[in-house]
Amino acid sequence: MYLKEVILEGFKSFADRTKVILGPGVTTIVGPNGCGKSNIVDAIRWVLGEQSAKALRGGKMNDVIFEGSDKRAALPVCEVSLVFTDCEKELGTAFNEVQITRRVSREGGGNYYINGKACRLKDIQQLFMDTGIGRVSYSFMVQGQIDQILSTNPEERRVIFEEAAGITRYKAQRREAMNKLALVDQNLSRINDVIDEVGRQITALKRQASKAIRFKRVSHRLKHLDLGWNSFQYQEKHALIESLTGKVGELRDVVQAAQQKLTDGEVMLAERKEERRDQYEKLQSIQQGVFDITSKKDQAENLAHVSMVRQQDYKDRIAVTEKDILSLEKQQKDLEAKMEDTSVNRESQMTLVDASDNLYKEKNKVLLEIQDKLRVLEGNFQKEKQKLHTLRGEIDRLQSKRSSLEVDLQTNEAREKDLEESIKDTEEQFAQIKEKLSSTEAAVKTVQETVAKCEKELDAAQKVTIEKREKFKAAQHEIQDQDRKIARLNAQLSVLEAMQSRFEGFSEVTKSIMKGKLDSVLEKGKYDLLTKHIEVVPEYITAFEVLLGMGVDAVSLQDMNQLADVAPFLADKKWAKACFNIPVPEQKENRAKKIPTGIVKAIDCVKSRSDSLTKNIEALLKDCYFCDSLTTFLSIWKDNPDFIFSLVATQSGELIDARGLVFTPNYESQKKKDGGFIQREAEIRELRTELQKEQKQLEALSNKSKDHHTVLEDSEADVEQKKNNLAAARQELTTAQLEDRSTRNHSINLEQKVKQFSDRRKQFTNNIKEAKERYEKGSVELEQKQEELSKIDEVIKGAEDDITQCRQDRDLQMEAVSELRVDLAEKKQLLQHIAHGLSQIEQRKQGTAHMLNTRQRELHTYQDEVAKLGEAAVSAKTQVEEFIKAMNEAKANLEKQRQVVTAVEEALNQVEAVLNEQRKIAHEKEGQLAKLEIQLTQATSQERFITEKMSSEYHVEIEEIDWVQQLWLADEEFKTKISLDDLEEDKDFFENQKKHKGSVPTKEELEALQNTAWPEVKNEIDELKSKISSMGAVNLVAIEEYAELKERFEFLKTQSEDLTNSKNELLTAIEEINKTSEKMFHETFQKVRNNFSETFNALFGGGHADLILQESDDVLDSGIEIIARPPGTKLKSLTLLSGGQKTMTAVALLFAIYRVKPSPFCVLDELDAPLDDANIGRFVKMLRDFTQFSQFLVISHNKRTIAAADTIYGVTMQERGVTRLISMRFNKNEQREKELDEVAFASVR
Average pLDDT of span 1128-1155:
78
- Residues 1067-1083 have pLDDT tens digits of 887 777 777 777 777 77
Q: pLDDT band at residue 101, thresholds of 50, 70 and 90?
A: very high
Contact between 248 and 933 (Cβ < 8 Å) = yes
Average pLDDT of span 707-720:
81
- Residues 751-800 have pLDDT tens digits of 777 777 777 777 777 777 777 777 777 777 777 777 777 777 777 777 77
Q: pLDDT band at residue 669, thresholds of 50, 70 and 90?
A: very low
Cα(first)–Cα(last) distance of the chain, in Å?
33
> What pLDDT is recorded for position 102?
92
- Residues 519-574 have pLDDT tens digits of 777 777 677 777 777 777 777 777 777 777 766 777 777 776 776 677 777 777 76
> What pLDDT is recorded for position 978?
53
Contact between 1102 and 1125 (Cβ < 8 Å) = no
Any residues with CB less than 8 A from the CB of 18 and at least 6 apart, and which? 7, 8, 9, 1219, 1220, 1221, 1240, 1241, 1242
CA atoms within 13 A on the CB side of 325: 14
* DSSP three-state, residue 1057: helix
The yes-or-no verdict on residue 979 having pLDDT over 60 is: no
User: How many residues are there in the chain?
Assistant: 1245
- Most trustworthy range by pLDDT among 150-154, 237-241, 325-329, 1186-1190: 237-241
* DSSP three-state, residue 1237: strand
The yes-or-no verdict on residue 79 having pLDDT over 90 is: yes
**Signed CA dihedral, 662, 666, 671, 674: sign only:** negative
Phi, psi of 1211 (to 5 degrees): -105, 125
Q: What is the Cα–Cα distance from 902 to 899, expressed in whole angstroms?
A: 5
Fold of the domain spanning 1-139+1159-1245 = Rossmann fold (3.40.50)
Any residues with CB less than 8 A from the CB of 1057 and at least 6 apart, and which? none
**Signed CA dihedral, 1202, 1208, 1211, 1214: sign only:** positive
Domain definitions of the chain by residue range:
1-139+1159-1245, 506-675
> What pLDDT is recorded for position 1238?
38
- Residues 899-927 have pLDDT tens digits of 777 777 777 777 777 777 777 777 777 77
Any residues with CB less than 8 A from the CB of 62 and at least 6 apart, and which? 104, 106, 108
Q: Which residues pair with 21 in a beta bridge?
A: 5
- Residues 845-898 have pLDDT tens digits of 777 777 778 877 877 887 777 778 777 777 877 777 777 777 777 777 777 777
CA torsion angle for 307, 313, 318, 319 (degrees, to 10)?
A: 140
| Mean pLDDT over each residue of the chain, to the nearest integer | 77
- Residues 468-501 have pLDDT tens digits of 878 877 887 788 788 778 877 877 777 777 777 7
Average pLDDT of span 260-267:
79
Average pLDDT of span 133-150:
64
Look up the CATH number of domain 506-675. Answer: 3.30.70.1620
How many percent of the chain have pLDDT more than 90? 2
- Residues 412-442 have pLDDT tens digits of 777 777 777 777 777 777 788 888 778 888 8
The yes-or-no verdict on residue 1240 having pLDDT over 70 is: no
* DSSP three-state, residue 231: helix
The DSSP secondary-structure symbol of 14 reads: B
> What pLDDT is recorded for position 165?
59
- Residues 621-655 have pLDDT tens digits of 888 888 888 788 888 888 888 888 888 888 877 88
Contact between 607 and 574 (Cβ < 8 Å) = no
Closest residue by Cα to residue 218 from 880, 798, 993 = 993
